[in-house]
Amino acid sequence: MRRASSLYPLAQSIVIVSLFLLPLTLALAGCGEEGTTTSATATVIPTPIPGQAVIRILPTPTPKPHPPTPTLAPTLTPTTPTPTEVVPTPTPEVEPKETESKEEKHTPTPTATLMPEPVSSEMVLVPAGEFIMGTTFEDESPRHAVFVEAFEIDKFEVTNEEFERFIAETGYQTEAEKGGEEDNWRAYAERKPRHPVVKVTWNDALAYCQWAGKRLSTEGEWEKAARGTEGLLYPWGDEWDPARANTRESGYRGTTVVGSFREGASPYGVMDMAGNVAEWTSDWYKAYPGSDFSSPYFGEKYRVIRGGGWFSDQELVRTTERSASSEELRNDDVGFRCARSVS
C-alpha cells in the first residue's frame, strides 16, 4: 500500500522505455515533461549510473513509470473534475515581496563588481528543540527523537526572479547551461517571476544559497519545519486535502506562484512544503540511526530530496517521505529553499 524510498529520475531513455507500461490516457492527463518517480520491483534493481535516474523500490511487482508528455495544456488551468474529483481553486497569491504582474519579466541590474548583502528573503524561525522524525515504514524508520538547534528557513521556495538576480550579479552558469542545454531554468522562468526556479542541480542550489549568505537545510531541519513537534503527516495535519497543495491530484500540471496555498502552511508558517516543487537538502541518502532497512542506494552517492512536486501524488508529499538522486539531477519539479543557523 505504501512505497519504499523514491529516487528521482533524470534520464529520458529510462522514461521512454517505460512508456509501454502505462495506459495512453495518462499522457493526456497532463503529466510532467520528465517523470518524477520511476518505480521498480524489489527484485529488479538497475545499477545506478552517475547522472542517471535512480529508482524507488516498491513492494508490488507492477511498474508504474512516468512517461514524458509533449502535449501539456498551455495554461495552468485545473483539469475538469469528474463527479468524484475535488479540484481546488488556490487561495489568493501570497506576495513575499512587492507586487509584480505574472506577465512581467523581472530584469535585475547587474552589479557584478559589488558583493551583495545577504539576501533578506522572508525567513521563518524554527526554535531549538526535539521533534519526532520518521515513521515505521522502510527508509523512514525508525521513528526517533531528534534535537535540532534553532535555525531559520525560507518561508517560500526560491523563485525565478530571485535566482535571476543571483545570475545577474555573479555571472554564474547553471550546470545545464554549461552543458549547452536549451532545456534549462530560463526556459521555465519566462513570464513566471514568482514561480519556484526549477531545472537546477544540487550544486546550482548550493551556489545560490552560499551567495545569499545561507545554506541548504539538513534533512532533519527540513522535516521539523514541515511537520512541527506534533508529528504531522502533512504540513497542515494528518488528513489529506488536495486543496492545500499543488500536487498531481490538484490538477495544475505545473508550478504555481509560491505561497498560493496558504491553508497548506506548516505549523511554523512555512509554505509549499508539500507539492509545487520537491526540494534539495544538504544530506546524503543514508539509513536512519538504528534502522534495519537496507537499500543499495544508501551511502554518499545520492542527495536527499524532500516535499514532492506538482507531479507527485499524496503519498510522495508526506512530511516524512524521502526521495534522493544524484547531484546532477535537473528536473522540472525540483527546486530548493535556503536555511541558516541562528547564533
What's the pLDDT tens digit per position in 164-222? 999 999 999 999 999 999 999 999 999 999 999 999 999 999 999 999 999 999 999 99
> In the prediction, which pLDDT does 136 show?
94
Residue 113 corresponds to which cell in the numbers above?
A: 563588481
Any idea which of 56-60, 166-170, 263-267 has the lowest mean pLDDT? Answer: 56-60
**Around 151, how many Cα atoms within 13 Å sit in the side-chain half-sphere?**
24
- At 8, the pLDDT band (50, 70, 90 cuts) reads low
**Counting beta carbons within 10 angstroms of the beta carbon of residue 11, is it exposed (0 to 12), middle (13 to 18) or buried (19 or more)?**
middle
> In the prediction, which pLDDT does 37 show?
36
Give yes or no for residue 253 having a pLDDT over 90: yes
> In the prediction, which pLDDT does 120 show?
54
CA distance 25 to 343: 53
Q: What's the mean pLDDT when you consider all of the chain?
A: 76
> In the prediction, which pLDDT does 55 show?
33
Give yes or no for residue 140 having a pLDDT over 60: yes
What's the pLDDT tens digit per position in 292-327? 999 999 999 999 999 999 999 999 999 999 999 999
CA nearest 64: which of 128, 3, 142? 3
Domains of the chain as residue ranges with CATH: 111-343 (3.90.1580.10)
Give yes or no for residue 74 having a pLDDT over 50: no
Mean pLDDT of 140-167: 97
Cell 547531484 locates to: 327
**Counting beta carbons within 10 angstroms of the beta carbon of residue 222, is it exposed (0 to 12), middle (13 to 18) or buried (19 or more)?**
buried
- At 279, the pLDDT band (50, 70, 90 cuts) reads very high
CA distance 76 to 70: 15
More confident residue, 312 or 98: 312
CA 64 to chain centre: 20
CA distance 11 to 86: 33
Mean pLDDT of 10-38: 37
More confident residue, 88 or 165: 165
- At 274, the pLDDT band (50, 70, 90 cuts) reads very high
Residue 56 corresponds to which cell in the numbers above?
A: 524507488
> In the prediction, which pLDDT does 85 show?
31
- Its pTM stands at 0.69
Mean pLDDT of 82-90: 36
> In the prediction, which pLDDT does 65 show?
34
What's the pLDDT tens digit per position in 104-130? 333 333 322 223 344 558 999 999 999
Cell 509584480 locates to: 100
